[in-house]
Structures are given as C-alpha cells and as structure tokens.
Chain A
Amino acid sequence: MNSINLSDNKPIGVIGAGNFGSAVANLLARQRPVLLYARDPEVVHRINTSRDNRGHIIDKNVTAVNDLAKVAAECDIIFPIIPSSHFRSVIRSLSPHLHPYHILIHGTKGFDITLPKHSTIEEIETLNRHQVKTMSEVIREESAVVRVGCLAGPNLSKELAAQHPSATVIASPFNEVIELGKKLLRNDYFQVYGNNDLTGVELAGVLKNVIAIASGALSGLGYGENARGLLISRGVVEMIYLGRALGGNTKAFLGVAGIGDLVTTCNSSLSRNFQVGHKLAQGKTLQDILAETDEVAEGINTVRIAKKCADYYQVKAPITHALYRVLFEKLTVQQALQYLMRYPLNVDIDFLDK
C-alpha cells in the first residue's frame, strides 16, 4: 500500500445538506476544506452567511455550493448523502463530471428501485434483485466511478454533533477507499472500522430500518425491555435471511453496521424510523405521519421493498410482513403484535450452520 498523501489541501465533497450530510461535512472539516452541495440556493446562502443548518453549526472550513460540476472538478473524494428516492437522479446529474479517478463514499441507507414503465410499486406483486439496487450499485451503473464505498453504523446525527463517542464502518471492496475514509473521518471521539463486504454492509444498514420502526411501535404501545430484546434478536435473524437472499454475507450483519446500528436505532427516540413506529402505535395513519415530518424516514419505503423481495425469494420475514400490513393494509399495531406472537417459530439460531 502506497502512502496516501493527505497533506495536500484538496477539498472533499459532500453532496446533500441534510442532517447527516451536515454532520459528515463537519467531521471532514477537521481535516480538510469541504465543499457542501445543497440543491436549494437559499440553503447555500444561509450556510455561507449564518453558518447554521438544521440546528448544526457548520464549520468555517465548509463552503456551501450549488454547482455539482464544481464539486466534481475540485474534489477527488466525494460523499453523496442524499435520500434514496433522489439518489439516482442526483448521481445522474453528477455523472458527466465524474472520472474513474474519483472515489465516492455514500452515506445513504435505502434501496433504489427501477419499475417497468407505467407501473407503481403498489401494483407490483414481487420485486427481485434486477429491480432493487443498493446505492453503490446505482453509482456503478450511472457513472464511470468504480472505487465506491459506504458509511454505515450507528451515527445519529445529533449525537455526532454533540461529539458523543461513536463509530462508523466504511465498507468497500477496495482497501484504499477504507484507508482514505479512516484518515479523513477518524478523530478522538469517532472510531472508524473497515469492512470489505460492501453489499452486506449496505443491506444491513437498510434492513435495520424495518426493525427500528417495529421497535418504535413497541415503545409506543408502552412495552418495556423484554419485548425490545425479543424484537432485536429476532430482527437480526430476519435481516440476515433477507440480506443473504439479496447478496450479502452473514458476517456484515453481526458487526457495527449490523447489530451495532440496529441496537442503537431500536433504543433511540432520536431516530426517525423509531418515531414513525411510535406514532403508528398511537393510532396515527401513514398519511398523518408523513404530513407531520419534513425529513424522510427511509424505513417506510424499505418495508415495502423488503416485503416484496421476501415474497420473491421465499424468505420468512414475519416482522417485515406484519409492518407492511400495518403501514399499507390498515392492520393495527396491536393486531400485528398478536400475529407475531402466534407465528410458529421453532429454532432460535440457525444461520451460523451454513
């Protein structure tokens, strides 16, 4: 491994000035100048003048910009942190400016789906891996960039901003991407681990959102730690089955990006997915909940996609199924819970044998 020269002062790009995007920009700003892309010119102006964005105080080393071409031209390393629903279109606009020397490390925990023309996700019976892509696969499909990685793990933006100790995983098939990510992000309160199973780590990060919603629902019903313990342990099993069907390895689900992230989100009222579940348990409908928040809870879409994939690959996923019916088929949380408690499960752990 040749040493990577970090003394030079080339800026790092961050695309997406949401909560997590702002937090990552601030982390990077400790090492290097950062170009932070925001779609909305007003946000750009606000960040550059008042240094304030969504409650984050933005580091003075960060410059907000509104020009993707500029980001690609000035930065070799770019962190796209965009909601999964916009991910493909943003990468598409960025793509003409990208070259194989670029390195992209994304921080989005969601799926991309491609549907046949004139059909919606509601109409589709099942989904398979030809239609469902992880974010790194979107980058590979839409651009000439091959050195791709992702950030995953328990990184609640608010705690990051408050400098509580926490950790992240950088996953990439390329060691140099992991090394670069470590050098750029690591500091005294932020630990960075590496993993070569990019797909596995991405899947773990996405699928845990389903369990997070369920955990919020349990807490909304007023249940305590027994119930949560049960949910988390069965949730891991379900994630592993689904994840393997979608092309990940078991190991990725047992690390920081899997269990680490899962436990964090399931215990955190800060998590958006958790909040969605909490509100569902209070009897609110999906429409009400969506109307109340301005930020995207990736989990809702993930439930839909995961359920249809589970159907296609014939994977047992009772938690996902139950949540699907609560979100889209008007089952109450109480009923869903009864369904789950009666679900015939026999073996505790059977994913380590194979």
Chain B
Amino acid sequence: MDIQEKKNKNKKYKPILEGIPDWPVYKLSKNRKEFIEEVAQKSFNRVKELRASTKQLVDELEATVYREQQRMKRNRWRADPQDEPKFWSKVKEDLQALSGKTEEEQQEKANEILKRIVTRYADEIAGNFKPSRYRLAREVIKFWFARLLNGARVKKFGAFWRNQYTLRDKIHIVGKVKQLRRLARKGTVVMVPTHFSNLDSILIGWVIHSLGLPAFIYGAGLNLFNIKIFAYFMNSLGAYKVDRRKKNMPYLETLKLYSTLALQKGAHSLFFPGGTRSRSGMIEKQLKLGLLSSTVEAQRDAYLDAKPGEEVRKIFIVPVTLNYHFVLEAPDLIEDYLSSKGQDRYMPEQDRYGSWQLIQFMFKFFTKGSSISVSIGKGLDIMGNYVDDEGNSIDEHGRSINTRDYFITNGQLSADRQREDEYTRMLSQKIVSEYHRINRVFASHLVAFVAFTMWQKRHPKLDLFSLLRLPEEDLTLPYEEFRDTCKRVRKQIYRMKIENKVNIASHLKGDIDEVIKRGLYNVGIFHLKRPLLRNRDGNIITRDLNVLYYYQNRLVGYELDKFIGQ
C-alpha cells in the first residue's frame, strides 16, 4: 500500500558547491597526514594538561594498556587492525622498563609513549574520503535503487530498466531544507539525527547528497565496519571511526579533538548524539555530551583565533529525526533494552545482521512499500538559539544576539571548560526538545501506541514485565473501541501540532478507518511475527507484544496516555 505524500516535497536540489575539490571534507582528506599529526599533537597536549605529574601520566598509560589488552582478549573484531597485539605488547614492555629510572627519564619516555598512542588513535579514527570512490558509490546506489524500485513496482516487461521511480519517492524529506542549504554556505553545519537503525548512516548520507550538500564527515561506530558492504560505502563517504569499546582517556580525548579540529576547518559534520541506536524505540532523552561539547569548543576557538574585526565562521546545529514504520533490528533492540533495564550491565555491541540480511531487507523495503521520512529541523547556534536564514542567532524574544558574547566575562573572551560543560548540557536539552517537535507521527506509530496503552490500562496492576509476559492469545481489542480511541488520540496530536509540539505525516489525516488500515499494514511490516493486526472477527490482536512495545515507544513523552481510558 502506497502512502501518498505531497508531490512538491520530493523535488531535486542542485549541489551548493559544484566541484568536489571545493568540499571541506576533500581538503581534509587530501591533507590527511598533516591533519592526523595536528590531532595527535593537540591530544598529546590535552592529556598532559589533564595528567600533569609523571606519576599520573604513567598510571594513565598503564590503565590504557591494561584496558586495551583486555579488550583484545575478550572482544576482537574483524575491523580491528592486524598489528594491534604487537603494538600494545611493545607499549607494555616499554612501560615496564620505566621502573627504576629517574623521574626525568620516566617523563621523557612516557611522553614518547603517549605520543605513539595518540598518533595511532588519530590514525585509526581518521576517515579516508576518496572522490573517485564517492562518485562510484553514489552511482552504484542510485543505479541499483532505481532498478529495485522500478522492477518491483511497475509490473510490465522492461520495467526493470525504467526510471519512473527514484529513491525520492520512497524517502520524504521535509522541514527546513532551504535554510539548511543556506547555512551550509554560510558556516559549518553539524547535523544531529536521532538514531534508530544501522540503516541511518546510509540513509543520512543519501539525504545529504540529495539535498545538494557536500559530503559530511561523520563518526560511525566501528562495529559497522565489520560488515563489508557498509565498510566500503562508509570509507568512501567521509566516515571516521568511533570505537565504543575504547573508553580510555587518551582515546576519548583524541576522538573529541578530531571532531573539534575538523569542525574548525569547516568540515560539515554529522553526529548521532544519542550515542548508540535507541534500544527502547523511544526518542533519545539523554544525549552523549562528549562529542556535542566539541561543537562548543570549536566555536569558542574560532572566536579566540579570530583577528579583530574578522568575521568568524559560525557553527550551526541542525536536529534531524528519521521516521520509520519499520526498524529491521527492532526485535533485538527491544530484547537488549528489556534485559538491561533496571540493571546497568555491560552490553556487547553485536550485530546479527550481515551483508546478506541487509540486501534482503533492502529488497523488501523497495518492493513492498513502507516509506521513510526525514524531518530537518530549524538551525541552532551552539547555545541552542534558533538562527535565521542568514545565520544570525535570535533569542526567544526575537532579538538578535551575538554568540561570541557567551564566551565573554568582564569584557574578556576566554575558555572555561566548566562553563562550556554547562553550555553543552543546555544545548543537549534543546536538541531533545527539538526532536520531539519535528518528529513526524506516522499512522503506524499511532496504532501501536493506542493498542499498547489500551492493553496496559486494562491491566493496571501489572508492571511492564508482567504485562509483556501475558500470553498474546489473551489480548484482543474490540475494533470499535480501538477506532474511537485512535480518533481521540489523533485529535490531541492535531492540537499539539498546532501548538508546534509535534509534527505529523500527511498520511495521518483523512478517514480514520483508512488511517488505521495503513497503520496496521505498515507497523513493523517485515517482521516474522506481526506486532499488530486484525483477526477474523475484525478485532485487534498482536503476535509479538515486545516488538509492539518497541514501536509504541516512539510516542512516549507526549503525555498522550491521558487520552486513553481504561
């Protein structure tokens, strides 16, 4: 079943910068070696600043080696470099040789070791953007997507080779597209999307290209590089690698400085500020502040480095939500979430999906309907103020403000980490509230939320886990009642849309029976066990309550449950 969107939403955009050599990401990778050296040098200085005495530094290095060796023992990945064990055992040897030396000798050697480590990390992290590969990847994706779409949808001989449908018909981009394109010319854009699926990285890559923007650099989880097909595309699309297993201080500092320096050099960037994929299916509430703080730092440094009167390149934060009917990994994600809830235990990042499953999914996705929509939010400055199309920050009272003023005390521009930590926290709160505002409600979200909440309210004494343990056969909802509730909740969603608290997909409007039909058809469309469907009598039943819980979580946080009775 197709979902109609207004046609004009799907227009094509011209590139804002003609040739790839003009792209900041290209310049960055052309000078890759120098850039890595700069990152390493700055990380070195930063770690030294944080671990000032010889003893502290040596302790930190020992902790780092220990953690790295533990990681290699427990959890090695295909994407890990071959020479890793050798490198770290050499570091360990060198550290052991320190004992008995004078403090001066120790300091000198420790500095050298630290330099070796951060240089290695910087090199591991750094992306490798190649224009030829980028062009190839772009063409390959375009070509095969077109074949899939047309072959599947137009059932005529030869349809396979037609170009009647493009990806644009499948993925709807709405929101502040024009502003985004302007801001990308005026300053450095940091796109911060919600993160639900491994597909997000590729999807966003396509969105950026299709909006005519130069490639963004982005931190992609190293686990994705285990999947060969992903690794190929990501390497070519400007990704740098983020290894979430490495939690040692030198690594985290290097990672942050990589992103800060790239921003300062004007490379448009993409962060998933939630860190990992949302396990619960809820929109992220807590963001990772580490990477986010690099935007604040980069902006402050830009002001500090500027000569008097010189115009400073501003950094713009653009929140984006990705709205799906279906998340491939949903059953596993929700299982992870439920088993970890209440106890904060270690969760290994494991992907049960290889290249083959992905191709299968792609095929289903293109042949069977079910669209994706991408909402682009209004641009923000690093303090979370909205910016106008010229990039000027505007406060809540419509007055123009100078972002530089946030870094001034007593008339002096200064760096103050504690202050900036606080700013980062404020920014993250703003991004979360923007997510909720631009999130587009789909029919499938509505039906999942209403059905699950109705069941929950029918068992007021059960906690979540007992509820989920109820046998699926025992759960039915009379259609009429379900329908009326959907209508009531939808009305409230309309009201909130007017108050600018949420957004809706255009297919949510219209005849409620039709909307429910669409919702039921699409919710978790490709799962083996459907989370929601109608039985022979026309009543609502579920085959997988856990997965239904995952999809209903999308609408948590809007206080919509008040509109669902017992």
Contact = CB atoms under 8 A, between A and B. Distances in A.
Given A2-B415, A99-B402, A8 B410 contact: yes
Given A100-B402, A144-B401, A5 B419 contact: no
B399 interface: yes
A76 B410 CA distance: 6
A60 interface: no
Interface string A172-192: 011110001000000000000
B408 to A, nearest CB: 4
B261 interface: no
A176 B412 contact: no
B399 A2 contact: no
B399 A176 contact: no
A199 B554 CA distance: 31
A101 B405 contact: yes
Interface string A76-109: 1100000000000000000110011101000000
B418 A10 contact: no
Contacts of A5: 410, 412
Contact of A10 (B395, B402, B410): B410
B481 interface: no
Nearest to B426: A146
Interface string B370-404: 00000000000001000000000001110101110
A347 interface: no
B419 A99 contact: no
A10 B406 CA distance: 19
A1 B397 contact: no
Contacts of B34: none
Interface string B425-441: 01000000000000000
Query: Which of A95, A141, A142, A146 counts the most chain B CB atoms within 10 A?
Result: A146
Nearest to B423: A146
Given A1-B416, A174-B419, A176-B419, A146 B406 contact: yes
Interface in A1-58: 1-2, 4-5, 8, 10
A4 B411 CA distance: 10
Contacts, number: 58
B476 interface: no
B45 interface: no
A176 B415 CA distance: 11
Contact of B399 (A4, A10, A101, A144): A144
A2 B410 contact: no
A261 B411 CA distance: 34
Contacts of B403: 100
A180 B408 CA distance: 13
Contacts of A4: 409-410
Contacts of A142: 397
Interface in B240-290: none
B513 interface: no
A77 B409 CA distance: 9
Contacts of A77: 410
Contact of A175 (B395, B406, B414, B419): B419
Interface residues of B, number: 23
Nearest to A103: B409
Interface residues of A, number: 24
Nearest to B400: A144
Given A146-B383, A173-B422, A175-B419, A96 B405 contact: no
B411 A10 contact: yes
Given A1-B416, A1-B418, A99 B409 contact: no
A100 B401 contact: yes
Given A5-B410, A10-B411, A76-B411, A100 B416 contact: no
B405 to A, nearest CB: 4
Contacts of B401: 99-100, 144
B480 to A, nearest CB: 35
Nearest to B425: A173
Contacts of A1: 416, 418
A10 B418 CA distance: 25
Contact of B416 (A2, A8, A10, A76): A2
Nearest to A1: B416
Given A100-B401, A146-B406, A176 B411 contact: no
A180 B411 CA distance: 14
Contacts of A180: 409
A75 to B, nearest CB: 11
B415 A101 contact: no
Given A5-B412, A76-B411, A176 B406 contact: no
Nearest to A6: B410
A99 B416 contact: no
Given A4-B410, A10-B411, A76-B411, A176 B416 contact: yes
A78 to B, nearest CB: 13
A8 B415 CA distance: 20
Given A146-B383, A175-B419, A176-B416, A101 B408 contact: yes
A100 B409 contact: no
A1 to B, nearest CB: 7
Given A100-B401, A176-B419, A144 B395 contact: yes
Counting chain B CB atoms within 10 Å of each CB, which of A1, A10, A100, A175 scores highest? A100
A173 B424 CA distance: 12
Contacts of B414: 2
A146 B397 CA distance: 14
A96 B396 CA distance: 12
5 contacts: A100-B383, A100-B402, A146-B426, A147-B419, A173-B422
Given A76-B410, A77-B410, A100-B406, 4 more contacts: A76-B411, A100-B402, A100-B408, A176-B416
Interface of B: 383, 395-397, 399, 401-403, 405-406, 408-412, 414-416, 418-419, 422-423, 426
Interface of A: 1-2, 4-5, 8, 10, 76-77, 95-96, 99-101, 103, 141-142, 144, 146-147, 173-176, 180
Top 3 nearest A-B pairs (CB, nearest first) are A100-B405, A101-B408, A101-B405
